[in-house]
Amino acid sequence: MSALEKISSNKVFEGELAKYKFKSAALGGLDAQFNLFLPKNPTGAKVPVLVYLSGLTCTEDNGAQKGGFFGIAATQNIAILLPDTSPRGAGVPGEDDDWDFGTGAGFYVDATKPEYSKHYNMKTHITVELPQVIEAAGLPIDFKRQSIFGHSMGGHGALTLYLSSKTKQYRSASAFAPIANPTKCPWGEKAFKGYLAGGIAEAVDNYDATELISKRTEPVHILIDYGTADNFYKQGQLLPENFLKAARDVGYDEFQVRVRSQEGYDHSYYFISSFAQDHIHCTFDFDYL
Among 125, 151, 221, 267, which one carries the catalytic annotation?
267
pLDDT band at residue 286 under the 50/70/90 scheme: low
Q: What is the pLDDT of residues 72-116, one digit of tens each?
A: 999 999 999 999 999 999 999 999 999 999 999 999 999 999 999
In the set 152, 156, 208, 221, the catalytic residue is: 152
Annotation says 267 is catalytic: yes
Q: Please state the pTM of the whole predicted model.
A: 0.97
pLDDT value at 289 more than 50: no
> How confident is residue 200, by pLDDT bands cut at 50, 70 and 90?
very high
The pLDDT of residue 282 = 83
**What proportion of the chain, given as a percentage, has pLDDT over 70?**
98
| Average pLDDT of the residues in 5-10 | 98
Q: Which CATH architecture has domain 5-283?
A: 3-Layer(aba) Sandwich (3.40)
Domain coordinates of the chain in residue numbers?
5-283
Average pLDDT over all residues of the chain: 96
Say if residue 11 is exposed, middle or buried (CB neighbours under 10 Å; 0-12, 13-18, 19+). Answer: exposed
- Rounded to whole angstroms, how far apart are CA atoms 170 and 163? 9
Using DSSP's 3-state secondary structure scheme, residue 275 falls into: helix
Q: Which of 125, 230, 279, 281 is catalytic?
A: 230
The values of phi and psi at residue 236, to 5°, are: 85, 25
pLDDT band for position 174 (cuts 50, 70, 90): very high
